[in-house]
């Protein structure tokens, strides 16, 4: 899908830059159809280097955009929306990746008829391997769903969920990269204790994580099936899994995800 009209970025940090880079690489949009506003001159310069235009204010950005992607820090959101409001029209689709800010909160400031998509992306979008949850206001159309998916599938995968499920998305894929990084840290320490150098262990662990994820995505089979296929009765994998199960690794992970989801709900209030 090719986006129609102008795409505006309110805020152009790492995630905004990753999204635009993915869109340009996938030819979902052209740099000539992108406009950016950021208070940081360096970020504006980065946008210009990609071929995007730079607006002089949030209001001008809103007037110039058919699709507005909000990528400011949560504590700056209300001020940004207030500055944007004079140039905003309800025909503009709003896509927010601002953590903890509800669709209702955005509509309360831009108008209840505003079409708002709320997205929870994650940092692997920076390398084109993101996982995003997408929730839509009841004012959105099927075409709006397609636009949102096209944007975030340019930097990974995207699933459409009810807004209430975004806390679960946050706990799983939003925070999830940190879980896997922590597991790798633990595995590396354990492998070093067994005789590998840290460099060797890190390289092997990172590639194993990458390979397992790619196999899971490309095979289309459940993780349980792939796990069973790797686990020979009485073998080394079975020995490790037996300890994980006896020590309650499943319960630890479930408790962590539940805690992250609860914290996400608290921050969204």
C-alpha 77/C-alpha 116 separation (Å) is 14
Mean pLDDT of 54-79: 95
Mean pLDDT of 185-194: 98
pLDDT at 82: 96
CA distances for 257 relative to 36, 169, 174, 211, angstroms: 35, 10, 11, 24
pLDDT digits (tens, 9 = 90+) for 27-42: 999 999 999 999 999 9
pLDDT at 1: 78
Give percent above pLDDT 70 in the chain: 100
pLDDT digits (tens, 9 = 90+) for 252-265: 999 999 999 999 98
Identify the residue with better confidence: 2 or 12. Answer: 12
pLDDT of residue 268 exceeding 90 = no
Longest dimension (CA), the chain: 69
pLDDT at 57: 96
pLDDT of residue 186 exceeding 90 = yes
pLDDT at 41: 94
Domain residue spans in the chain?
Answer: 7-166, 174-267
pLDDT digits (tens, 9 = 90+) for 102-120: 999 999 999 999 999 999 9
Residue 37 forms beta bridges with which residues? 10
pLDDT digits (tens, 9 = 90+) for 199-221: 999 999 999 999 999 999 999 99
Superfamily of domain 7-166: NAD(P)-binding Rossmann-like Domain (3.40.50.720)
pLDDT at 19: 92
Entry pTM: 0.90
Q: Does domain 174-267 have CATH number 1.10.3730.10?
A: yes
pLDDT at 2: 86
3-state SS, one letter per residue, for the chain: CCCCCCEEEECCCHHHHHHHHHHHHCCCCCHHHEEEECCCHHHHHHHHHCCCEECCCHHHHHHHCCEEEECCCHHHHHHHHHHHHHHCCCCCEEEECCCCCCHHHHHHHHCCCCEEEEEECCHHHHHCCEEEEEEECCCCCHHHHHHHHHHHHCCEEEEECCHHHHHHHHHHHHCHHHHHHHHHHHHHHHHHHCCCCHHHHHHHHHHHHHHHHHHHHHHCCCHHHHHHHHCCCCCHHHHHHHHHHHCCHHHHHHHHHHHHHHHHHHHCC
8 A C-beta contact, residue 131 and residue 216: no
pLDDT at 269: 76
pLDDT of residue 5 exceeding 80 = yes
């Amino acid at each position: 899908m090719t986006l129609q009209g102008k795409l505006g970025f309110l805020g152009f940090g790492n995630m905004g830059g990753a999204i635009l880079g993915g869109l340009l690489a996938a030819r979902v949009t052209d740099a000539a159809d992108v406009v950016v506003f950021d208070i940081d001159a360096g970020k504006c310069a980065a946008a210009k280097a990609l071929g995007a235009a730079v607006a002089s204010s949030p209001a001008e950005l809103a007037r110039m955009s058919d699709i507005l992607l909000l990528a400011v820090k949560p504590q700056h959101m209300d001020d940004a929306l207030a500055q944007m409001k004079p140039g905003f029209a309800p025909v503009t689709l709003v896509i927010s990746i601002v953590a903890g800010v509800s669709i209702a909160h955005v509509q309360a400031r831009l108008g209840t008829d505003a079409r708002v998509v709320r997205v929870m992306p994650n940092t692997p979008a920076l390398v084109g391997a993101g996982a995003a949850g997408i929730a839509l206001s009841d004012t959105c159309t099927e075409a709006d769903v397609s636009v949102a998916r096209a944007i975030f599938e340019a930097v990974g995968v995207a699933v459409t969920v009810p807004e209430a499920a975004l806390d679960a998305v946050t706990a799983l894929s939003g925070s999830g990269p940190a879980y896997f990084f922590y597991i790798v840290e633990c595995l590396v320490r354990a492998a070093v204790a067994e005789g590998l150098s840290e460099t060797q262990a890190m390289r092997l662990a990172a590639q194993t994580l990458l390979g397992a994820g790619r196999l899971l995505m490309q095979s289309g089979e459940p993780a349980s099936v792939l796990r069973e296929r790797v686990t020979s009765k009485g073998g080394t994998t079975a020995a490790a899994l037996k300890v994980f199960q006896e020590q309650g690794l499943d319960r630890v992970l479930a408790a962590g995800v539940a805690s992250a989801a609860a914290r996400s709900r608290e921050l969204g209030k």
